[in-house]
């Protein structure tokens, strides 16, 4: 295991200590619990947006907490859900009188705990709505059963912008849902990653092998085989996305080329270039793209491609300035 | 070779095509040469700052071109210097009447080509000064013979801020030099990386082995041995830095915890936490820290630690807002 760590059982808390010490003007914890991660900039009357999920995906999930994005994040163990109590404690800290949106990835443990926290809020008369990201096309034929992966980036941006503009809970929910309804993601891994407390990879890939359609926790993909070129991967990925969400010629999209951890930014821009060629050939116009690490799996090599159909409303949300310790857009 | 690429010989140009297509409002190329990378926001009367170096270190070097930082970058092949002609063409594009600072890493090929470009400028009556980053403590006992690594981050920030404030060439040079004089870096690698056109690593590390003091092109370090913990690496690194640049109790420093490519951001914050403990024990105060990928070596796993002694002048430079396609600070 080639990691720069101390005791594996201290992985999450030492990471959090480093983050809080580095960004005291921007974030703080609630209830004396490092894993209750909250913005230090609460705005009265704003809808509070809260997420959560397992550690090991930075900047997901906590990296999206900050100005113009979201307000709190429950930090679970590596690839584990935060508890309902943690989510509840975060909510009590950041809730600002305009209701709460729970926005997180479509995983069983997270759904259970966010639902439980939501029930606790009912007793406090705090209005709460929940929405999951479920953008991973290859994880299931049924859109509602799909895993949430990097596409939640666009949902955070839409919800965060709408809340910042003073939107109501229903409006913030609708903005996030519109982004979620219009985004599709396909990903692939070239190497596995290692959960620190386990100490070895939970699957293997040969020296020349990759896994197409793999999830960010190493969930099996649709095929394992020899590594393809960036052009071939772009063609296959864009093909899967457009088969699921047909786009007319002239449609504008936002593009997210996301690195899973170990893949260099150089390669991500090569992939960006390959994806643009594919979309261009189909008459789909890339309005704007983001390239870098937005949802990772520790030291996994690989990438994901998210395509989000945009109109003027979504463009406005995606152009909204944001500033967190991990993500900055002017 | 687990990379998402097409033909290895197209690696640099396809990367650049992806970058230009993604950020047309911020950057452009000069002289019809993709590798002459320039800001799209030229400001008359501002000192122009130009860098350059080999590909494979994103966001170094081109990622620093943008508002509040630098103006142009010569893009070499993987781990190769850009040519004197490319540097000259960039200079002619971004030079804005107040002279030019060449600011780059201390490598023989780069020095030769920047010096040659500088001689070409003399004939055009354009004033030019040159400065190299040479912050890698373990690369040589002689400070002037040291390699430039991630510490140039602070030199770019100081020079960029001073130029943005309307400083003269001498003032911009002095700002960058002051940052350079006060920064020291120690780095270590856990895995090698692969030059695409070579196709295999140029050295090996065993499954439990790391290289302490290794350079970002795989230059040998001071020891190879079993992987140490984050706390042990922080202790040894801070020890080397303070042996080279003794700091009195109460001194304030800026800290850069830089990932070399494959190391997760989670680990970098664990290392940040470990380094803070070391500095704290010595009475050195961390004024502010940056954590992430600022100078990489493609898919190399590992990190570097840069410590920069700060006063009010340097703090002002480092707080200056910047915005490039790769680096944003409000």
Residues B256 and B174 grouped into a single domain:
no
Residues A26 and A143 grouped into a single domain:
yes
Note whether residue B328 is domain-resident: no
Given a contact cutoff of 8 angstroms between Cβ atoms, the answer to whether A88 and B299 are in contact is no
Backbone angles phi, psi at B167, to 5 degrees: -65, 155
Note whether residue B325 is domain-resident: no
Token duo for residue A147: 């895993």
Instruction: From chain A, pick out residues whose CB is under 8 angstroms from the CB of B260.
Output: none
Report the pLDDT value the prediction gives residue B101, as an integer from 0 to 100: 98
Given a contact cutoff of 8 angstroms between Cβ atoms, the answer to whether B118 and B128 are in contact is yes
Probe site for chain B from A10, A18, A211 (most B CB atoms < 10 A): A18
Residues B110 and B168 grouped into a single domain:
yes
Report the pLDDT value the prediction gives residue A274, as an integer from 0 to 100: 98
Cβ under 8 Å to A: B residues 218-237: 227, 229-231, 233
Given a contact cutoff of 8 angstroms between Cβ atoms, the answer to whether B167 and B175 are in contact is yes
Q: Residues 6 or more apart from A1 whose CB is under 8 A from it?
A: A194, A196, A199, A200
Q: Residues 6 or more apart from A141 whose CB is under 8 A from it?
A: none
pLDDT digits (tens, 9 = 90+) for B53-70: 999 999 999 999 999 999
- Residue B327 reports pLDDT greater than 90: yes
pLDDT digits (tens, 9 = 90+) for B295-306: 999 999 999 999
B211 touches chain A (CB under 8 A): no
Q: How many domains does chain A contain in total?
A: 2
- Among candidate residues B181, B200, B228, the one where a domain is terminated: B181
Catalytic residue among B23, B41, B43, B57: B57
A111 touches chain B (CB under 8 A): no
By Cβ distance, the residue of B2, B233, B298 closest to A190 is: B2
Instruction: From chain B, pick out residues whose CB is under 8 angstroms from the CB of A267.
Output: 3-5, 15
Using DSSP, state whether A175 is helix, strand or coil.
helix
Report the pLDDT value the prediction gives residue A202, as an integer from 0 to 100: 83
Report the pLDDT value the prediction gives residue A203, as an integer from 0 to 100: 87
Report the pLDDT value the prediction gives residue B44, as an integer from 0 to 100: 97
pLDDT digits (tens, 9 = 90+) for B87-121: 999 999 999 999 999 999 999 999 999 999 999 99
Residues A114 and A15 grouped into a single domain:
yes
Put simply, the answer to whether B262 touches A262 (Cβ < 8 Å) is yes
Note whether residue A103 is domain-resident: yes
Q: Average of pLDDT values for A99-115?
A: 98
B141 touches chain A (CB under 8 A): no
**Confidence category of residue B142, pLDDT binned at 50, 70, 90:** very high
By Cβ distance, the residue of A4, A230, A301 closest to B299 is: A301
Note whether residue A217 is domain-resident: yes
User: How many beta-carbon pairs under 8 angstroms link A with B?
Assistant: 173
Note whether residue B206 is domain-resident: yes
Given a contact cutoff of 8 angstroms between Cβ atoms, the answer to whether B70 and B51 are in contact is yes
- The label of the residue with tokens 């069983």 reads A108
Using DSSP, state whether A167 is helix, strand or coil.
coil
Probe site for chain B from A266, A267, A300, A325 (most B CB atoms < 10 A): A266
Backbone angles phi, psi at A45, to 5 degrees: 85, 0
- The label of the residue with tokens 């305009």 reads A98
Query: What whole-number distance in Å separates Cα of residue A268 and Cα of residue A270?
Result: 5
Q: Average of pLDDT values for B258-265?
A: 98
Q: Residues 6 or more apart from B82 whose CB is under 8 A from it?
A: B35, B52, B53, B74, B75, B76, B110, B113
pLDDT digits (tens, 9 = 90+) for A53-101: 999 999 999 999 999 999 999 999 999 999 999 999 999 999 999 999 9
Instruction: From chain B, pick out residues whose CB is under 8 angstroms from the CB of A286.
Output: 21
> What is the DSSP secondary structure assignment for residue A31, as one 8-state letter?
T
What chain B residue is nearest to A17 in terms of C-alpha separation? B273
3-state percent helix, strand, coil for chain B, nearest multiple of 5: 35, 25, 40
B72 touches chain A (CB under 8 A): no
Q: Are strands B285-292 and B252-259 parallel, antiparallel or unpaired?
A: parallel
Cβ under 8 Å to B: A residues 174-203: 190-191
Q: Are strands A100-105 and A48-55 parallel, antiparallel or unpaired?
A: parallel
Put simply, the answer to whether A230 touches B266 (Cβ < 8 Å) is no
User: How would you classify residue B53: left for phi > 0, otherwise alpha for psi between -120 and 50, otherwise beta?
Assistant: left
Probe site for chain B from A264, A305, A319 (most B CB atoms < 10 A): A264
By Cβ distance, the residue of B270, B323, B328 closest to A5 is: B270
**Confidence category of residue A290, pLDDT binned at 50, 70, 90:** very high
Q: Average of pLDDT values for A178-197?
A: 97
Residues A195 and A305 grouped into a single domain:
yes
Put simply, the answer to whether A2 touches B190 (Cβ < 8 Å) is yes
Note whether residue B1 is domain-resident: no
Report the pLDDT value the prediction gives residue A135, as an integer from 0 to 100: 98
Taking alpha carbons only, the member of A186, A281, A276 closest to residue B24 is A276
Domain residue limits at B103 = 8-181
By Cβ distance, the residue of B264, B276, B298 closest to A58 is: B264
Q: Average of pLDDT values for A186-207?
A: 95
For B70-111, the DSSP string reads BSEEEEEEET-PPPHHHHHHHHHHH--SS-EEEEEE--HHHH
Average pLDDT, chain A: 97
Instruction: From chain A, pick out residues whose CB is under 8 angstroms from the CB of B270.
Output: 4-6, 11, 14-15, 18
Residues B170 and B21 grouped into a single domain:
yes
Taking alpha carbons only, the member of B161, B151, B154, B152 closest to residue B186 is B151
Residues B258 and B120 grouped into a single domain:
no
Determine the distance in angstroms separating the CA of B35 from the nearest CA of chain A, rounded to an integer: 14
Q: Average of pLDDT values for B148-175?
A: 98
Residues B48 and B164 grouped into a single domain:
yes
Given a contact cutoff of 8 angstroms between Cβ atoms, the answer to whether B113 and B83 are in contact is yes
Known catalytic residue: B23? no
- Residue A141 reports pLDDT greater than 90: yes
Residues B113 and B83 grouped into a single domain:
yes
- Residue B202 reports pLDDT greater than 90: no
Residues A226 and A150 grouped into a single domain:
no
Based on C-alpha coordinates, what's the Rg of chain A? Answer: 19
Pick the range with the lowest mean pLDDT from A71-85, A176-190, A200-214, A267-281. Answer: A200-214
Angle at B177 between CA B172 and CA B183, to 5 degrees: 135
Report the pLDDT value the prediction gives residue A78, as an integer from 0 to 100: 98
Put simply, the answer to whether B18 touches A291 (Cβ < 8 Å) is yes
Residues A161 and A35 grouped into a single domain:
yes
**Confidence category of residue A171, pLDDT binned at 50, 70, 90:** very high
Query: What whole-number distance in Å separates Cα of residue B82 and Cα of residue A208?
Result: 32
Task: Say which CATH number the domain at A143 has.
Answer: 3.40.50.10440
Q: Are strands B27-30 and B33-39 parallel, antiparallel or unpaired?
A: antiparallel
Determine the distance in angstroms separating the CA of B232 from the nearest CA of chain A, rounded to an integer: 9
**Confidence category of residue B43, pLDDT binned at 50, 70, 90:** very high
Put simply, the answer to whether B271 touches A301 (Cβ < 8 Å) is no
Task: Say which CATH number the domain at A204 has.
Answer: 3.30.1180.20
């Amino acid at each position: 295991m080639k990691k720069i760590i101390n005791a594996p059982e201290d992985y999450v808390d030492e990471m959090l200590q480093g983050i809080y010490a580095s960004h005291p003007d921007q974030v703080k914890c609630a209830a004396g619990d490092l894993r209750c991660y909250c913005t230090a900039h609460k705005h009265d009357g704003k809808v509070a947006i809260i997420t959560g999920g397992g550690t090991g995906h930075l900047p997901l999930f906590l990296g999206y907490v900050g100005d113009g994005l979201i307000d709190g994040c429950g930090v679970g163990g590596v690839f584990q859900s935060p508890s309902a109590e943690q989510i509840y404690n975060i909510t009590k800290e950041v809730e600002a009188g305009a209701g709460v949106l729970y926005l997180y990835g479509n995983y069983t443990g997270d759904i259970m705990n966010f639902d439980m926290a939501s029930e606790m809020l009912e007793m406090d008369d705090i209005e709460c709505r929940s929405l999951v990201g479920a953008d991973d096309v290859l994880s299931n034929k049924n859109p509602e059963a799909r895993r949430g992966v990097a596409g939640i980036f666009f949902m955070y941006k839409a919800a965060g912008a709408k809340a910042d503009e003073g939107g109501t809970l229903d409006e913030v929910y609708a903005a996030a849902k519109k982004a979620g309804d219009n985004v599709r993601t396909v990903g692939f891994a070239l190497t596995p990653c290692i959960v620190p407390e386990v100490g070895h990879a939970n699957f293997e890939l040969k020296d020349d092998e990759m896994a197409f359609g793999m999830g960010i926790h190493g969930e099996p993909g649709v095929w394992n085989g020899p590594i393809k070129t960036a052009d071939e991967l772009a063609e296959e990925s864009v093909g899967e996305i457009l088969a699921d969400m047909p786009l007319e010629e002239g449609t504008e999209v936002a593009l997210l080329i996301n690195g899973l951890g170990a893949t260099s930014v150089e390669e991500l821009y090569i992939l960006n270039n390959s994806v643009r060629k594919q979309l261009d050939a189909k008459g789909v116009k890339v309005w704007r793209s983001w390239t870098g690490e937005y949802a990772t799996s520790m030291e996994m090599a690989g990438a994901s491609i998210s395509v989000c159909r945009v109109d003027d409303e979504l463009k406005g949300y995606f152009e909204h300035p944001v500033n967190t310790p991990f993500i900055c857009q002017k």
